[in-house]
Amino acid sequence: MQNILLRPANTNDAPAFRRVFELASEGLAPWVWAQSAGPDGNLDDIVLQRMREKIEKSAQGTCLVAEVDGQTAGGVITYDIGDEPEAIEDDTPPLFKPLIQLENLAPRTHYVNALAVFPEFQGLGIGRKLLRAVAGNALEKGMSLIVEDSNVAALKLYRSEWYKEKARLPVVEAEGWQCPGTEWILMIRLPE
């Protein structure tokens, strides 16, 4: 029996959250980071600084780390979606448009931005514990998330936690990034 601990993230957890975003985004986050770093940027420094900033800016209880017997096993970061839809500008890269469109269909919900359990710790119920821990942030707003259609384990978890599919849009790939699935799925859990 493993000892599973959930705790608030701190800036020392930046490397772990880099891995969380890599896994949760189906590899999209590393592609975005590489594009923004450019040929002369130090990718590691840039990514770790972004992760530290995300952790620092997160509201209390919205950025959690899971540990198993003292080892980092995964994490989750969430935020509230506002009332107004995010504008999709003409220069928005096409691969982001379906994600923004789906998020815009979930106004006033508490959004699971990234949730991942590292492969070596999967099957222990950590994802469920993380999901339930951040559900308290939703209050009467409900929860939302986006998952790609071939992520069978995640879909099974979300459905078992009362998330219902609201909409789907095709994945748009980019040179250097291919998604394992073909559609992004917006799922919402209504408030209790």
pTM strictly above 0.95: no
Report the CATH architecture of 4-189: 3-Layer(aba) Sandwich (3.40)
Domain borders along the chain are: 4-189
- Signed CA dihedral, 135, 137, 141, 144: sign only: negative
Give me the pLDDT at residue 123, please: 93
Instruction: Round to whole Å and give the CA distance between 150 and 79.
Output: 25
Angular region, 69: left φ>0, alpha ψ -120 to 50, beta rest: left
38-86 pLDDT tens trace: 667 688 888 999 999 999 999 999 999 999 999 999 999 999 999 999 9
Give me the pLDDT at residue 137, please: 84
84-121 pLDDT tens trace: 999 999 999 999 999 999 999 999 999 999 999 999 99
Question: Confidence class of residue 126 from pLDDT cuts 50, 70 and 90?
Answer: very high
DSSP single-letter state for residue 149: T
- Provide the β-strand partners of residue 177: 174
